[in-house]
Amino acid sequence: MFSITLYGHLVIDTIYDTNCTMMEFGGMANMRRTFCQLDPKLDVGLVPTVIGTADIFINRAESERTSKANLNVTQLPIAIKQSKISHILYINELPNTDFVSQLPGIVTADCCKGKLIDLNLLKYVDYLFVSDDEVRDLDGILNAIKGTVIIHSPTGSVSYKNKKEQTYSIDPALMVKNANVLGAGDMFAAAFLLALNNNMTNAIEYAHITTSTLLKKTNEKI
């Protein structure tokens, strides 16, 4: 049995960052790298259900990134794994979501820019992560979801459980300026899931602080 199993998109990224161009795996690979940094012994299952590609352009001056992606190039067979937590990457862009209703344990998911999420899937989801620039039809999401919605941004997050709102603001000292923020949402989700797996009571705070720390380390190397 795994502690956390990741389902969904594995992406081959071509990254254009200032005068540098590189290729690396993104999507669930971003989360896997984060788990390896935070807890190398964590038992993580990987079930890519689709392989995609993306061209990503980094704007350090604004700490932003834009992308042009084809996330659903190749679909793969899906094998459900027993796990304490089952996480779905980019649920709103998956071509096949039949497996969602079969996932064991605590079910979590995140979204990316693109299609509206199928609200019928949210009755299976305990935690949904959405970045503040990707939120669409919030009222519909809140009415449909089984559990908690967490809308995160570089300055903090707003979470909704049973339509009750709770806000968390980041200490300005933790803000990362002129940064390559690629994968920040995946880092946030991974840190939150690790806290959830470890039964921490401050999962949102831990996820924000950890994401800021990892982004600083990543950008120091560049």
Which domain CATH number covers 204? 3.40.1190.20
Helices 28-38 and 203-220, interaxial angle, to 10°?
Answer: 100
Query: Once rounded to an integer, what is the mean pLDDT over residues 43-67?
Result: 82
User: Domain containing 180: what range?
Assistant: 2-220
Model pLDDT for residues 140-177, shown as the tens digit of each residue? 999 999 999 999 988 899 999 987 999 999 887 776 66
Query: Comparing 42-51, 52-61, 93-102, 147-156, which segment has the lowest mean pLDDT?
Result: 52-61
Considering the entire predicted model, what is its pTM?
0.89
Nearest Cα to Cα of residue 130 among 173, 120, 142:
142
Please report which confidence band the pLDDT of residue 222 belongs to, taking 50, 70 and 90 as the band edges: very low
111-147 b/e (C-beta count within 10 Å ≥ 16 → b): bbeeeebeeebbebbbbbbbbeebeeeeeebbebbeb
Query: Once rounded to an integer, what is the mean pLDDT over residues 85-100?
Result: 97
DSSP string, 100-130: GGG--SEEEEE--SSSPP-GGGGGG-SEEEE
Name the domain count of the chain: 1
Is the per-residue pLDDT at 62 higher than 80? no
Rg of the chain (C-alpha set) = 16
